[in-house]
Amino acid sequence: MNVSEFVWRRLREWGLARVYGYPGDGVGGLDVALEAALKEGTEFVQVRHEEMAAFMASAHAKFTGQVGLCYATSGPGAIHLLNGLYDAKLDHVGVVAIVGQQMRSAIGAAYQQEVDLQALFKDVASEFVATASVPAQVRHLIDADFSHFV
């Protein structure tokens, strides 16, 4: 099992069976692994714009009482999630956002679509913002994120 496959499996173990998102090169591994996750019970709602992914995840949380889940690619894709994430924050519902990032070797080199995600999400996701740099972090980060919702 690769890291992306593990991400979808672990999210399902936490009860997140529906994800709202928009594929992109910054989350290509997750996009490929999502195909297999669909066969294991994950439901994917592909939106027309990343902003709608976050709003739909927020609405999901509001109407079901469950944690909403959205994902988007890096750079502008991640930025487009902000409005929906603020909607969730202001209504005090839980939404998890997974976003892509440039390769570690490109960070700080003014690479195409590089965004400081920690700074970008600091206010809206103040309870938990983290970046997985190595595979060994992924389980811990997912579990630590969900500890805020239980």
Q: Domain-by-domain residue ranges, the chain?
A: 3-146
- Threshold 0.85, pTM exceeds: yes
Q: Looking at the predicted structure, is the pLDDT value of residue 38 above 80?
A: yes
Give the pLDDT band of residue 54 (cuts 50, 70, 90).
Answer: very high
Note the pLDDT of residue 136: 93
Answer whether 102's CB lies under 8 Å from 111's CB: yes
The three-state secondary structure class of 84 is helix
| 55 or 148, higher pLDDT | 55
pLDDT at 60 over 60: yes
The CATH number that domain 3-146 falls under is 3.40.50.970
> Is the pLDDT confidence value at 92 over 90?
yes
- Nearest-5° Cα angle at 123, 61 to 101: 85
C-alpha distances in Å from residue 136, one per residue of 44, 58, 108, 133 = 26, 29, 23, 9
Token pair of 3 as six digits:
């890291």
Query: Best-predicted range by mean pLDDT among 41-55, 89-103, 123-137?
Result: 41-55
Q: Which pLDDT tens digit goes with each residue over 4-30? A: 999 999 999 999 999 999 998 888 899
